[in-house]
């Protein structure tokens, strides 16, 4: 759910001083200064999340409040997924699509507090655009407020994540894609504890007032020490999400791609009477997409990177949108849009142009790493 940014004016995280003190390599991301990795390095941080527990600062993610009579009905008539599938206290992955093209403006999480109160969490670089579109069509009585700077977002991810939260007195017993509110440990306000994440592991995302973020970070670090907690940056977040086949906006998702092409029909409420982009997406579903997002796993030693061409039977059939070395599998994995109608089934072997050398990759259905037994 994240996307990169080239902005020169960057917003620091409320936890910026903690990252500097830990020797983090800070980089531009979605208009924010965010930790890319710490002294431990991406592979060690990645492994900590898979085997123990990692702590991420993801405060670049947006926080948008939609409130007022009819707020939920309005959001349901604009974003792709069907809020009728969830109840208050639950969260839902959804898409903001362009009404004319069906392209993905952003992917985001919606937290449904009530019919009159929702929290939307878009990606950093797209938060303002999502807000602009929602404000432009909001009916009387519905408010859309960008509170991006008012909150920090921390992610505690890994097999020991629940133990760390319990050690600081936070609730952990709720189901996946549900959330509860609780007092901030050592702080003055309340936070939202949601059973969500972008790693595939058992984990939680904590939406906390920015003024309380430092105290919460310190409490989690102290409580996590016996469990091997490791602060992790956006580099590990990217390798973790790629191993799960989770798309990244700005690479795998964009205005130039549709949910049908991205094989994300499950995130669309097809039975709803309307949502942004519904007409074009229904037509594409009926006709069939000209390309689809597929998983690729290296047969040999090739490491895929975004933009690399993919060939099948001697013809270029697509290109990589995400690619990395999998620290868990010790091979290259990636996501690519491949042309449909070419007989490219799961298990087929394609060639990826890795720096001028064709390398064999198997077409597979993500996730590349099965975490279901522990998440």
Same domain, 154 and 139: no
**Do residues 30 and 277 make contact, with C-beta atoms less than 8 angstroms apart?**
no
What does pTM read for this prediction? 0.95
Backbone angles phi and psi of 267, in degrees to 5: -95, 15
* CATH code of 321's domain: 2.40.30.110
Distance separating alpha carbons of residues 160 and 166, to the nearest angstrom: 10
Distance separating alpha carbons of residues 360 and 238, to the nearest angstrom: 23
Contacts of 58 (CB under 8 A, 6+ apart): 2, 153, 154, 155, 198, 205, 237
Residue 186's pLDDT is what? Answer: 82
Distance separating alpha carbons of residues 18 and 235, to the nearest angstrom: 18
Tell me if 307 is assigned to some domain. yes
Please write the tens of the pLDDT for every residue from 247-260.
999 999 999 999 99
Same domain, 48 and 189: yes
Same domain, 190 and 298: no
Tell me if 281 is assigned to some domain. no
Tell me if 279 is assigned to some domain. no
| Mean of per-residue pLDDT scores for the chain | 96
Tell me if 74 is assigned to some domain. yes
Q: What share of the chain is helix, strand, coil (3-state, %, to 5)?
A: 25, 35, 40
Same domain, 210 and 69: no
In terms of DSSP H, where are the helices of the chain? Answer: 16-21, 42-51, 71-76, 127-137, 161-167, 213-224, 234-244, 278-287
* CATH code of 240's domain: 3.30.1360.120
Please write the tens of the pLDDT for every residue from 220-276.
999 999 999 999 999 999 999 999 999 999 999 999 999 999 999 999 999 999 999
* CATH code of 122's domain: 3.30.70.1400
* Domain around 126: 64-144
Please write the tens of the pLDDT for every residue from 66-98.
999 999 999 999 999 999 999 999 999 999 999
Is pLDDT of 299 > 90? yes
Same domain, 154 and 54: yes
In terms of DSSP H, where are the helices of 157-225? Answer: 161-167, 213-224
Alpha carbon separation from 339 to 55, 132, 262 (Å, rounded)? 38, 34, 12
Residue 375's pLDDT is what? Answer: 54
Number of domains in the chain: 3
Contacts of 284 (CB under 8 A, 6+ apart): 102, 258, 260, 261
């Amino acid at each position: 759910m994240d996307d990169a940014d080239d902005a020169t004016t960057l917003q620091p995280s409320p936890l910026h001083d903690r990252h500097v003190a830990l020797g983090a390599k800070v980089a531009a991301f979605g208009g924010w200064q965010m930790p890319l990795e710490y002294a431990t390095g991406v592979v060690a941080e990645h492994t900590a999340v898979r085997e123990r527990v990692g702590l991420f600062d993801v405060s670049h993610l947006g926080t948008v409040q939609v409130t007022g009579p009819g707020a939920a009905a309005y959001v349901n008539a604009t974003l792709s997924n069907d809020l009728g599938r969830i109840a208050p206290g639950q969260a839902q992955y959804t898409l903001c699509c362009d009404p004319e093209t069906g392209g993905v403006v952003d992917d985001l999480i919606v937290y449904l507090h009530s019919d009159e109160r929702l929290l939307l969490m878009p990606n950093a670089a797209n938060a303002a655009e999502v807000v602009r579109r929602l404000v432009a069509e909001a009916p009387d009585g519905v408010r859309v407020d960008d509170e991006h700077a008012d909150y920090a977002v921390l992610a505690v991810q890994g097999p020991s994540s629940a133990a760390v939260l319990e050690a600081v007195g936070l609730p952990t017993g709720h189901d996946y894609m549900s959330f509860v509110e609780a007092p901030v440990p050592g702080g003055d306000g309340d936070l939202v504890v949601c059973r969500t994440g972008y790693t595939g592991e058992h984990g939680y995302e904590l939406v906390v007032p920015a003024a309380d973020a430092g105290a919460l970070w310190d409490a989690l670090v102290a409580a996590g020490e016996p469990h091997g907690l490791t602060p992790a940056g956006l580099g590990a977040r990217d390798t973790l999400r790629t191993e799960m086949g989770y798309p990244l906006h700005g690479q795998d998702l964009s205005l130039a791609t549709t949910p049908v092409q991205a094989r994300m029909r499950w995130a669309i409420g097809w039975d709803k009477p309307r949502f942004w982009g519904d007409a074009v997406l229904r037509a594409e579903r009926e006709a069939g997409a000209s390309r689809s997002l597929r998983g690729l796993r290296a047969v040999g030693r090739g490491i895929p990177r975004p933009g690399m061409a993919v060939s099948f039977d001697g013809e270029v059939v697509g290109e990589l949108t995400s690619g990395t070395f999998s620290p868990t599998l010790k091979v290259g994995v990636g996501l690519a849009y491949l042309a449909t109608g070419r007989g490219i089934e799961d298990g087929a072997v394609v060639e990826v142009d890795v720096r001028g050398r064709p390398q064999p990759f198997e077409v597979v259905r993500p996730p590349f790493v099965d975490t279901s037994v522990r998440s």
